Structure 1
Amino acid sequence: MPSPTFADSSAAEPPERGSVDALISQTRQLRGSVDAVRRDTWSDEDDPRLRWQRALCDLAVHHLDDLGQQLGQLREGLPPEPEVPDSAVAAAIPLPGVPQQPGRGSLLSRVGSAEWNFLTDEVDWSDELFRIFGRAPEDGALSLDELPSVVLPADHPQLTAMVTDCLVEGKPIDGEFRIVRPDGAECTVHMMGEPVLDADGCTASMWAVLRDVSELRRSQQAVHETHDSLQRLRHFAQTERRLAVELQEAVLPPWRGSLRFPHTGPASLDVAAHYLPSASSAHIGGDWYDAMPLPDGRTLLSVGDLTGHGVTATSGMAMLLGALRGMAVAGVAPGQVMGCLNHLLDAASQPALGTAVCCRYDPRTGSLTWSQAGHPAPLLFRDGTGRALPAPEGVLLGAASGAAYGQAEEQLHPGDVLVLHTDGLVPPSTELTPSTELTPSTGLPPRTELTGSDENSSGAQRLLGLAPRLSAARSAQECVRIMAEEFGDAERECDACVLVARVGS
């Protein structure tokens, strides 16, 4: 019902149809595009990012639906004898793909009007307002005194303040409150209105337009909730990564540069290592490297990798590395060490798989005893050429209960360079394909000398191509620098470790 204040105002002329038609067409196209994006967000219900995108799309759809319907009314203009206030929409042009169900979907079904006359105590509600409140017209409209009976108690102060400001101070009404329908459903109503004054300046009546904004508010709430969920997940991921980094730094050897094991002797090892992070800072994995002198004068060298990322992988890596060190100090042979690590992973409460290489070097004889569990074999560089050591039998750690692990021995000579690495050192994008033919000028051995899978072998071929440079290096640290320059800037999906041991001359 229009306000008496504007009763004598003439109806505005509708705008030109062509410009409004163009706006309606643009709105329809945009609505279709949003629908297409919304359909794409249903691929994974568990992804919080997709839930947030879908909630934003739903919110945009609500706004575009209302915009299209309002533009349709603007094109048609007001009817000669309006039955709803100027603020309500008397006609709507449905957009493609938008269902128009009674009581839901169309703008008319969500907008109603009311007038409370204080001189006659009469209350006039539109049919749409009865539908919004879920009341039958024969039940009668609610007076201002009765209106709080259907409003949630928490919203009583808001409603009272709006009505009081309107009636006492003559302020326009613009606010929301929640109502409970007779069927128990909760509805959010947005009310706009103003007082109507008599000739003496007193409030004679109050009129208002009320709109059901429940779906719009639910969409907005979904956007806020998914945004908050994403923020919590991001904070959790940052915290987990920080813990993983701190744990990794606490477990990996703190030494930087070259070390000599043992500290004296002509055949002692010059050792250096390097950690290469993945392209994504979130992928802190379970890679490790280690070198330590043993009580009997020999030296332990090991590298390995545990599946997974984050705190779980780094804590599992810490467990394996601690067990490996303890058994090596106790004099357990490399093959038996691998069997014990396999049992440790197999019996763990959280199943995981791992790969590892464990080497024990005796400087008195120059012999290297080693064992492996599904890991790339160590690479030996001598006199400008390189080769992968023939690998003894050994399956992935945690893959099979009671698995047996073999041992192999290799005689190292003064000036030899031994490289242990995890399989993420050479990213797939830079690896040679299995069909690549090596020329004699590279100094590489035949393809058949490499062991392991094709992927590991192709990565080893790239490493073996550095044989002339590594053999000419004067220290283990220089060898690490050469490999870091070659592979350090490459985009890798996971982190990697490399350990270099050079036999003194």
Structure 2
Amino acid sequence: MTAEQRADRSESFGEALLGEVLDRAHELPPHLIGPLVADVVERLGGRRPQVLLQDYGQLLLVPLPGDGLTDGEPQVIDDSEAGRCFLDAHPVELSEDDGVRVHLPLLDGGDQVGVMAVTLDSVDDHDRRILRRIAGLVADLLVTKHGYSDLFFGVRRREPMSVAAEIQWALLPPLAMIMPRVAVAGILEPAYDVAGDSFDYALNGDVLHVAMIDAMGHGLDAATMATVAIGSYRHARRAGTGLPEIYAFMDRAVADQFGPEHFVTAQMLQLDTTTGHLQWVNAGHPSPMLVRDHRVTLRLTGPTTLPVGFGGPQPQTSEMKLEPGDRLLCFTDGLIEEHKTGEDEFGEDLMIDWVNQLERTGRGIRAVARSLSHTLKRARGGHTTDDATLLLVEWRG
């Protein structure tokens, strides 16, 4: 191939902007992400850049501090353009007196890191393409730098957090994963004082693995037990064992560490994302609900065994075939056993009514999971004396 036949490899304007982020990313300290964003946005002709991160309670979008970034009050997710961008995971443009305010979702593997906002005099498709790609790189930076800095924890934390909650949040996978065939979204309450509830998932090839647990008790004891339960679940899962063997390994780990008076209820599932074939075992945990055609249609009942730590018999594996669009709602008992002041338990029937109402909105799985948790908390009168955790799994087919 002659020099004249080689493709043009000169740097375009867009490549130069993206290259600015890539070239500096490797050795960029976390606190300099903001100035880098501001510099790149300015070269694009933008102004008033903001990076907004979701708080732990999933109520607010909080501005990330940094030289060149615009300060401001946290924005309410349910009542702002930035919040609409965050919930729907789509750009939102708003005409203002001095130009167009563009909000872009910061997405990493489907998980919603936050929102990037910038004002331009006008916006065309070239601007949209470049901004979308810049937002993708910024999201990746936030995720990778998060592992070795407390900066982002501090921004997202809006009230004091218990030690037990610190442990649980460090244990969790991303709250959401959106992939072509399958999606997952979860939420923990109370966000700043959760202790014994946790969940885990992993997409290994075509198989989605999911676990939800509820360790007995409260505070550090419950958080420690949940850590052992999730750690042993991951160990057994990564060894390639089946669901009954995973239960047995978790059971031995909890019993050996904590003795016979301690236990963890657990639900473990495996979903073949190519066929929709679902398998699960239940260890004393509330049965998941199947949401089909935007309403709860059945409970995933079946044989159960004793909670993890009690040395129960080997669990029997239940199975069924999902249909495209089906959603599974996994939850802990705190979601339905909370009492209104002076009244009966909140109960499953009322929870199902709210699930059906929210499902009819047709919103994505992240928005539904978040809305369901917050709606149920309001319906309980704002009370959360026990952990109340939920996880939605959607098979897209």
Other-structure match for 1:428: 338
Other-structure match for 1:248: 168
The answer to whether the Cα contact below 8 Å between 2:306 and 2:312 also exists between their aligned partners in 1 is: no
Kindly indicate whether structure 1 or structure 2 has the higher relative contact order, using CA contacts under 8 Å at least 6 residues apart: 2
Which structure 2 residues correspond to residues 31-42 of structure 1 after superposition, within 5 A? none
Separation in 2, partners of 1:289, 1:402: 21
Q: Secondary structure at the match of 2:339?
A: helix
CA RMSD of aligned residues (A): 2.6
Other-structure match for 1:494: 386
1:403 Cα offset (Å):
2.2
Separation in 2, partners of 1:492, 1:243: 18
* Residue number among 179, 183, 186 corresponding to 1:270 in the alignment: 183
- Which string of whole-angstrom CA distances, capped at 9 and with x for unpartnered residues, describes residues 324-378 of structure 1? 1121222222222112212222222444111010011101211111111100011
Q: Which runs of 5+ in 2 are unaligned?
A: 1-159
Separation in 1, partners of 2:387, 2:196: 8
Other-structure match for 2:132: none
Q: Which runs of 5+ in 1 are unaligned?
A: 1-239, 435-454
Separation in 1, partners of 2:356, 2:273: 23
Q: Secondary structure at the match of 2:233?
A: helix
* Residue number among 365, 374, 380 corresponding to 1:485 in the alignment: 374
- Which string of whole-angstrom CA distances, capped at 9 and with x for unpartnered residues, describes residues 172-219 of structure 1? xxxxxxxxxxxxxxxxxxxxxxxxxxxxxxxxxxxxxxxxxxxxxxxx
Go from structure 1 to structure 2 and tell me whether the alpha carbon gap of 1:384 and 1:243 turns closer, same or farther (over 3 Å shift).
closer
Separation in 2, partners of 1:379, 1:349: 31
The answer to whether the Cα contact below 8 Å between 2:264 and 2:307 also exists between their aligned partners in 1 is: yes
Go from structure 1 to structure 2 and tell me whether the alpha carbon gap of 1:391 and 1:471 turns closer, same or farther (over 3 Å shift).
farther
* Residue number among 352, 356, 359 corresponding to 1:470 in the alignment: 359
Other-structure match for 2:177: 259
- Which string of whole-angstrom CA distances, capped at 9 and with x for unpartnered residues, describes residues 144-180 of structure 1? xxxxxxxxxxxxxxxxxxxxxxxxxxxxxxxxxxxxx
Separation in 1, partners of 2:360, 2:329: 11
Q: Identity, % of aligned pairs? A: 25
* Residue number among 342, 362, 365 corresponding to 2:272 in the alignment: 362
Is residue 244 of structure 2 the alignment partner of residue 335 of structure 1? yes
Other-structure match for 2:212: 303
* Residue number among 319, 322, 327 corresponding to 1:412 in the alignment: 322
The answer to whether the Cα contact below 8 Å between 1:241 and 1:311 also exists between their aligned partners in 2 is: no
Is residue 300 of structure 2 the alignment partner of residue 389 of structure 1? yes
Go from structure 1 to structure 2 and tell me whether the alpha carbon gap of 1:467 and 1:249 turns closer, same or farther (over 3 Å shift).
same
Other-structure match for 1:113: none
1:288 Cα offset (Å):
0.2
Q: Secondary structure at the match of 1:426?
A: helix
The answer to whether the Cα contact below 8 Å between 1:286 and 1:313 also exists between their aligned partners in 2 is: yes
Q: How many aligned positions are there?
A: 231
Separation in 2, partners of 1:474, 1:492: 26
Separation in 2, partners of 1:500, 1:427: 19
The answer to whether the Cα contact below 8 Å between 1:342 and 1:403 also exists between their aligned partners in 2 is: no
Q: Secondary structure at the match of 2:329?
A: strand
Is residue 369 of structure 2 the alignment partner of residue 460 of structure 1? no
Separation in 2, partners of 1:474, 1:284: 27
Other-structure match for 1:318: 227
The answer to whether the Cα contact below 8 Å between 2:269 and 2:280 also exists between their aligned partners in 1 is: yes
Larger Rg: 1
- Which string of whole-angstrom CA distances, capped at 9 and with x for unpartnered residues, describes residues 439-459 of structure 1? xxxxxxxxxxxxxxxx7xx73
Return the letter of the residue paired with 1:470.
E
- Which string of whole-angstrom CA distances, capped at 9 and with x for unpartnered residues, describes residues 294-332 of structure 1? 2x4201111111012222211221111011112122222
The answer to whether the Cα contact below 8 Å between 1:416 and 1:471 also exists between their aligned partners in 2 is: no
TM-score, normalization by structure 1: 0.42
Q: Secondary structure at the match of 1:488?
A: helix
- Which string of whole-angstrom CA distances, capped at 9 and with x for unpartnered residues, describes residues 118-156 of structure 1? xxxxxxxxxxxxxxxxxxxxxxxxxxxxxxxxxxxxxxx
Point out 4+ residue stretches in structure 1 off by more than 3 angstroms. Answer: none
1:402 Cα offset (Å):
5.0
Return the letter of the residue paired with 1:411.
K
Other-structure match for 2:201: 291
- Which string of whole-angstrom CA distances, capped at 9 and with x for unpartnered residues, describes residues 85-107 of structure 1? xxxxxxxxxxxxxxxxxxxxxxx
- Greater per-residue strand proportion: 2
Go from structure 1 to structure 2 and tell me whether the alpha carbon gap of 1:405 and 1:475 turns closer, same or farther (over 3 Å shift).
same
